[in-house]
Structure 1
Amino acid sequence: MLIQLAIMGVLAAMLPLAVVWVSSDTNKYRKLVWVTVFLTIDLIMFGAFTRLTDSGLGCPDWPGCYGHANPVQAHAHISAAEAAMPEGPVTVMKAWIEMVHRYLAMGVGVLIIAMMVIAWRMWLKSKRTEHAFSPWLPTFLLGFVCLQGAFGAWTVTLKLQPVIVTTHLLLGMGLLMLLAWLGTRQVVHPPVSPRAVSIRVPAAVALGLLFTQIALGGWVSTNYAALACLDFPLCHGQVVPQMDFENGFTLWRHLGKTADGEFLPFPALTAIHWVHRMFALVVVAYVGWLAFRVRKITGLERAGTWLLVAVGVQFLTGMSTVFLKWPLALAVVHNGGAAVLVLLLTMLNFLARIPSQAAPNRATTRLSAA
């Protein structure tokens, strides 16, 4: 089974690798990094789709499906489980959704391995002088994606325990952040005004706030609290509704239960939803302010505009999910919007430090052209 799963991971990586191979970009390594960034965003969105369709236990074991490499081989087990519990978490469709998510994750892992091998080769070939091909971040990425895979396994074996699923989401966003930093390091950027130094701290704070909001959003999703407030901007017709913060934000507990094993009360779900909603206002206000400030810095105007557009769209999709009663497609887009914001803010944090990065990037271009 493990060999079959490894083959599936390689097959999942074949198309992205083919795109890199046939690309006209002279720097294949840079292309590989950005293709991996794109696939990681896809993986995050498909992970949201898996979670939102209740497919996380479509195959209740890991890494395979009932001990097999794919749902076709496990069809008899899946059919038996579905017959025993027609409304349960195991169906043929949910099994395929869960396994496709795992195949995509393995594909990203294969791409990161390829990236690490190329980085080590190019770095040693340049006699350890080429900063852009430094292999330490790609090597760290391999360890990081293995950690992400471990949390993916615990997500299944611990039956969708909210703190595990939320951590799995945060690690996925962290993987995207690291890949985006590596990708931005490969690009030759236009001159940036020295004023960019002034946004280093605000940009780092914005990224920290965004990850906090993603954690709160993951907590909403994993506790199925998205529809705990069906009106906006009020919640149950009140600015501050009845809430149970103690049970709502107890981290180590089973899905839908309190730490004592009782059913989670509705005021706890309200508290989870309300905190995410209120903190969203803080994030939107801060990132919006930062975007306007960035647009006034020479060389970062486009970065500021894209950031402003992205945070505006994210706010609108967040409100729309409430008004439209959390439609699946819009909820997945909302998760994708969070990933795009991570990408943009990571790139902005890099660009704010561009004076120390520009020289190695130009060297990379000369090396790749040669």
Structure 2
Amino acid sequence: MALVVVQNYMKLNRYQKVALTTVGATIFLIFIGGLVRASGAGLGCPDWPRCFGMWIPPTAVSDLPAGFDATQFNVLKTWTEYINRLIGVIIGLLIVATFVLSIPYRKKEPSVVYSSGAALVLVLIQGWLGGQVVITGLSEWLITLHMLLAMIIMMTLIYAVFKASEQQLELRIPPKTRRWLLGSGLLLLVITFVQLSIGTQVREAIDLLKNMDRPPARNLWISKVGPVDELHRSFSWAVLLSGTLLFYVARRRTGKPLLNKLGSWIFGLILLQIATGAGLYYLGIPPVYQVIHLVGVAILIALEFILVLVVNRAGEQPDTG
């Protein structure tokens, strides 16, 4: 399977390769962001854009410049946050390259240029927003906005890659099946975003507990969040039910290998999200579960969006009955 993926990748043009790499890098950055959060390294670099006043952070307390509190320094947290910033810069450069390489599409498929340009503007805003998160001492609502914007950037890039590649997609679906699949896909995507938004409210409530003068023990955080966590857990049923509908239609009604795989991957990720969510609740928020839960929802949204794009494109082609 890995060989097939590599072979297909090598068939892509320069724009498609760079844009697809950027999508993967963006998901990887979300993973690193999860590590930053789980390890408490958000203020590992207390200033912006430098880190302890340096472009390359120190590796020991003795290397700290004058004027910085030595108690703020933790080499592991500092370098975790610094690597997070470096990867963010690399992704910014990749998005610049994506936009430049999209220019040849301006006549035959202008939406590729527009979406690549939108991703560039959004990543500049994201960079500024990241600085504000640090400057404000990890403001809860700014962290939420920072994460949601990362998801939007990822989806914008996916759309750009898809529009640059859709002519290679040959897929026909009966009209009734297409309507069911497109409807269930859009429903699941909306419900997943709502669930993500509720989840960010849970995270904000936990952040407030952590920042109290006398914060409760980690294993008590969830129990003290209140109704928003109950809503988050209850709403997972909506995700599961809509995901089950999509899985059924994709697997039983289309007979298309691509849609079968997308439906199975999406359903599997929903089950993983529910399992890690339960682990976070019952096991006292293990850091590794935090990372998996965050990356899982990013990949889930990516696959849901890809499925919607694929089905919508298939609807533009003649029906074979």
Identify whether the pair has TM-score above 0.5, normalized to the shorter chain: yes
Which of residues 164, 174, 181 is equivalent to 2:142? Answer: 164
Q: In the alignment, does 2:109 pair up with 1:150?
A: no
Q: 1:103 aligns with which of 74, 86, 106?
A: 86
SS in structure 1 of the partner of residue 51 of structure 2: coil
Could you tell me which residue of structure 1 aligns to residue 64 of structure 2? 77
- My pick for the range that moved more, 27-36 or 107-116, is 27-36
Deviations 1:240-265 (A, max 9, x none): xxxxxxxxxxxxx99747xxx9999x
Q: Describe how 1:81-230 pairs up with structure 2 within 5 A.
A: 83=70, 85=71, 90-120=73-103, 122-123=104-105, 128=107, 130-131=108-109, 134-185=112-163, 186-187=165-166, 188-193=168-173, 194=175, 195-224=177-206
Alpha-carbon distance in structure 2 between the residues aligned to 1:254 and 1:167: 20
Aligned residue for 1:95, secondary structure, equals helix
Question: Following the alignment from structure 1 to structure 2, what is the Cα–Cα distance between the partners of residues 78 and 329?
Answer: 33
1:164, distance to aligned residue in structure 2 (A): 0.8
Provide the rounded CA distance (Å) in 2 between the counterparts of 1:272 and 1:111: 38
Q: CA deviation at 1:268?
A: 6.0
Q: CA deviation at 1:334?
A: 1.3
Within-5 A mapping of 1:268-347: 269-295=225-251, 296-299=253-256, 300-347=259-306
Aligned positions, number: 299
Alpha-carbon shift at residue 291 of structure 1 (Å): 2.1
For 1:202 and 1:182, the matched residues in 2 are separated by 23
> Per-residue displacement from partner, 1:210-235 (whole Å, max 9, x unpaired)?
1221222233234327xxxxxxxxxx
Paired with 1:26 and 1:343, the residues of 2 have a C-alpha distance of: 20
Question: Match of 1:352, SS?
Answer: helix
Matched, 1:36 2:22: yes
Distance 2:26 2:146 in 1: 13
Map 1:55-74 → 2, pairs under 5 A: 55-72=41-58
Alpha-carbon distance in structure 2 between the residues aligned to 1:144 and 1:74: 36
Indicate how the Cα distance of structure 1 residues 344 and 26 shifts in structure 2: closer, same or farther if over 3 A, else same.
closer
User: CA offsets, 1:312-356, max 9 Å, x none?
Assistant: 122112212333332222221111110110111110110121146
Cα distance in 1 for partners of 2:129, 2:33 equals 13
Question: How big is the shift at 1:165?
Answer: 0.5
Separation in structure 2 between the aligned mates of residue 104 and residue 96 of structure 1, nearest angstrom: 12
1:27 matched residue in structure 2: 13
1:290/1:135 CA distance change after superposition, 3 Å? same
Measure the CA separation in 2 of the matches of 1:190 and 1:310.
26
Report deviation, 1:138. 0.3
1:357, CA displacement in angstroms?
6.6
Please give the alpha-carbon distance, in whole angstroms, between the structure 2 residues aligned to 1:263 and 1:111: 41
Give unpaired runs (5+ residues) of structure 2.
1-5
8 Å CA contact 2:38, 2:287 repeated in 1: yes
For 1:140 and 1:160, the matched residues in 2 are separated by 26
Q: Which stretches in structure 1 are left out of the alignment for 5+ residues?
A: 1-19, 226-252, 360-370
Could you say if the C-alpha distance between residues 70 and 308 of structure 1 is closer, same or farther in structure 2, counting changes exceeding 3 Å?
A: same
Structure 2 counterpart SS, 1:348:
helix
Q: Give distance in 2, aligned partners of 1:77 and 1:358.
A: 63
Cα distance change on mapping 1:91 and 1:73 into 2, 3 Å: closer
Q: Choose 208-217 or 162-171, whichever is displaced more.
A: 208-217
* Alpha-carbon offset, residue 79 of structure 1: 9.7
Bigger proportion of residues as helix: 2
Equivalent pairs: percent with the same residue? 26
Deviation at 1:73, TM superposition (A): 8.4
TM-score by length of 2: 0.82
Whether the 8 Å CA contact 2:52–2:68 is kept in 1: the answer is no
Mean alpha-carbon deviation: is it higher for 213-222 or for 133-142?
Answer: 213-222
Q: For the residues of structure 1 that align with 2:131 and 2:224, how far apart are their CA atoms? A: 27
Shift in alpha-carbon separation, 1:273–1:204, aligned structure 2, 3 A = same
Distance 1:29 1:211 in 2: 29
> Deviation at 1:163?
0.8
Report the 3-state secondary structure (helix = DSSP H, G, I; strand = E; otherwise coil) of the residue aligned with 1:135.
helix
CA distance in 2, matches of 1:39, 1:201: 30
Q: 2-side partners of 1:181 and 1:133: how far apart? A: 9
- For normalisation by structure 1, the TM-score amounts to 0.72
Residue 348 to residue 78, structure 1, CA distance change in 2 (3 Å): farther
Distance of 1:358 and 1:91 partners within structure 2: 57
